[in-house]
A and B are shown apart, each in its own frame.
Chain A
């Protein structure tokens, strides 16, 4: 049989090749991911100039996005989506990701950082550990009562958080230690969430 397709085969495949419109929500997901990765020109906030961590923050944001996607994909659904992975026993822990002058990812491209954080988030989701993750806004936020001095648990900029499930502090700390964030000198504060 030669590689040349017969007219009948071509007709079959042309029928299949008729383009089916992609789902409308796909564009929004793609654009959000690209925006988070810094693909579009935006004016970076001053604090990110200071710490040169805009790329890392974008990576974190995309990691959250990918983690969320994986989480949804493994959450089971009406259309035969795969069953969720068995969640590890234990409580929920809050992982607060901080960046300060010690954070140094200067030798890594945005793409590399995005891939690393996304892989980590995806792995957590695939293991059933990831409960939630969000990138925090870049503004100062608020402290109450008004005028009170913020009392951060770590210095630097709080750029995001993860909530993971783990049997105890030791395992939660191990998860945090395995993050790309600590590899670049970022700090992760781990706090247990009561009643979970």
Chain B
């Protein structure tokens, strides 16, 4: 079964509750959610898998509440961010949004420019910096959306982005 867009697939799933309709949504969105989880967790595949799984388990029961005021991908991404934050809280590793946090990057980047090196540099950023840069720069969330997702002020999101960019540039210079 194919559906022209997310709304059609969601409607089909809600109407019939069949696995095939869910599969369409899963295959359409999981690569992006997986990428987001990987970047949030700093490349920890085991944790990213748990985060994405938990995100789907919590998002699906609430699909009927989705009002299509954003894209489905953005809405699902919020579940990934929330689950990731919950993981960090459980581990006693809540993100510090300290504006004075020092961007001490782990290791050097030998050949700037390749995707692998950028990924290493990004994963090595302080978590707060990386989180905002990933959400803003890769996944297109606005500062207001990031603030709502992370429970911070929009200004904090902006300052974290600014510091993240500076740190990334230093690392890749």
A-side residues, CB < 8 A to B, are 1, 3, 5, 9-10, 12-13, 15-23, 26-27, 29-31, 33-35, 37, 39-41, 62, 66, 69, 73, 77, 79, 81, 109-111, 114, 126
B19 within 8 A of A: yes
With known contacts A19-B32, A23-B45, A9–B168 Cβ distance under 8 A = yes
Q: Which of B33, B38, B52, B137 contacts A9 (CB 8 A)?
A: B137
Among the 9-residue stretches B56-64, B68-76, B100-108, the one with 4 or more Cβ atoms under 8 Å from chain A is B56-64
Q: What residues of chain A lie closer than 8 Å to B165, measured between beta carbons? A: 1, 5, 9
Could you mark each residue 32-52 of chain B with 1 if its beta carbon is under 8 Å from any beta carbon of chain A, else 0? Answer: 111100110000011101101
Q: Report B121 CB to chain A, min CB distance, Å.
A: 8
- Judge whether A34 and B39 touch: CB under 8 Å: no
Q: Which residues of B contact A39 (CB under 8 A)?
A: 17, 22, 60-61
The reply to whether B166 and A126 contact each other, CB–CB distance below 8 Å, is no
Specify the chain A residue showing the minimal Cβ separation from B47.
A73
Interchain CB contact under 8 A, B31 and A21: yes
| Whole-angstrom CA separation of A22 from B62 in the bound complex | 23
Can you spell out 17 A-B residue pairs with CB atoms less than 8 angstroms apart? A1-B165, A1-B166, A3-B143, A12-B113, A15-B114, A15-B119, A16-B119, A22-B30, A22-B34, A26-B34, A26-B53, A29-B49, A33-B53, A35-B19, A41-B18, A62-B57, A79-B46
Interface string of B143-173 (1 = CB under 8 A from A): 1000000000000001001100110110010
B8 at interface, CB cutoff 8 A: no
Q: B115 at the A/B interface (Cβ < 8 Å)?
A: yes
Q: How far is the CA of A66 from the CA of B57 in the complex (A)?
A: 11
Q: Is the CB of B158 within 8 A of A3?
A: yes
Kindly report which residue of chain A lies nearest to residue B56, judged by CB atoms: A30
For chain B, the count of residues having a C-beta within 8 Å of the partner chain is 49
Counting from the closest, the 6 A-B pairs by CB-CB distance are A15-B115, A41-B17, A22-B34, A19-B31, A111-B61, A12-B118
Could you list which residues of chain B lie within 8 angstroms of chain A, going by C-beta atoms? Answer: 16-19, 22-23, 26, 30-35, 38-39, 45-47, 49-50, 52-54, 56-58, 60-62, 90, 113-115, 118-119, 122, 133, 136-138, 143, 158, 161-162, 165-166, 168-169, 172
Least CB separation from A9: chain B residue: B165
B residues in contact with A19, CB < 8 Å: 31-32, 34-35
Q: A113 CB to closest chain B CB, in angstroms?
A: 11
Contact of A40 among B19, B50, B90 (CB under 8 A): B19
What residues of B have a CB within 8 angstroms of the CB of A3 in the complex? Answer: 136, 143, 158, 161
Within the assembled complex, what's the spacing in Å between the Cα atoms of A20 and B54?
A: 19
Q: B58 touches which one: A9, A23, A26, A111 (CB < 8 A)?
A: A111
Question: In the complex, what's the smallest C-beta–C-beta distance from B11 to chain A, in angstroms?
Answer: 15
Indicate the member of A1, A10, A17, A35 with the most B CB atoms within 10 Å.
A17
- Interchain CA distance A126-B138 in the complex, whole Å: 33
